[in-house]
Amino acid sequence: MKIEVRNATLEELDTLLAWRMQVLSEVFSFPEAANCIALRTKNEAYYKEHLAKGSHTACFALNGDNGQIVGCGGICYQAEMPSPDNPSGQNGYLMNIYTLPEFRGKGIGRKIVAFLIADARRKGTEKIYLESSPPAKNLYHKIGFTDMTDYMKLIGLNEAT
């Protein structure tokens, strides 16, 4: 099967949102339908802002035989303070890398990641972060990503404590 990876555009917003929600539904569970609607609305606002200004690149992987979308991915661009491992301070956060279950194991995820890394290089990005599900870690290691130690996160800042 021939796979083509291409940029997703704002003209495909409904398709982008459908894929984003599909990815999120596999990774997280939503306790109420209202949360899904609110999350979709926030993702729609995010895409409208960040695709327009170039601080996010989204892509689709298509089956070259019939044009069916079989995967997606994205990278968010941001600045951090310059450091020895990132002198420019420009970095990317790789996310939403997803392949339909029936197409997994065919190198599609690798092609999506390669497409987004090439985009990051063109934009002068020197460092890329990502969070990985356990099944995908091997793919990222083969591409050259390394595990980070001492990395932590704090979530739920808007919740009452």
pLDDT tens, 126-142?
999 999 988 899 999 99
Residue 10: which of 44, 38, 41 has the closest Cα?
Answer: 44
Q: What is the pTM (predicted TM-score) of this model?
A: 0.92
| pLDDT for residue 158 | 76
Alpha helix ranges (H) inside the chain: 13-27, 33-53, 108-122, 137-143
CA distance 117 to 75: 9
| pLDDT for residue 161 | 45
Q: How far is CA 98 from CA 42, 85, 107, 154, in A?
A: 20, 28, 12, 25
| pLDDT for residue 30 | 65
Coil, strand or helix at 106: coil
Residue 34 binned pLDDT confidence (cut-offs 50, 70, 90): low
Asked if residue 99 has pLDDT above 70, the reply is: yes
If one counts every other C-beta atom within 10 angstroms of the C-beta of residue 51, the result is 20
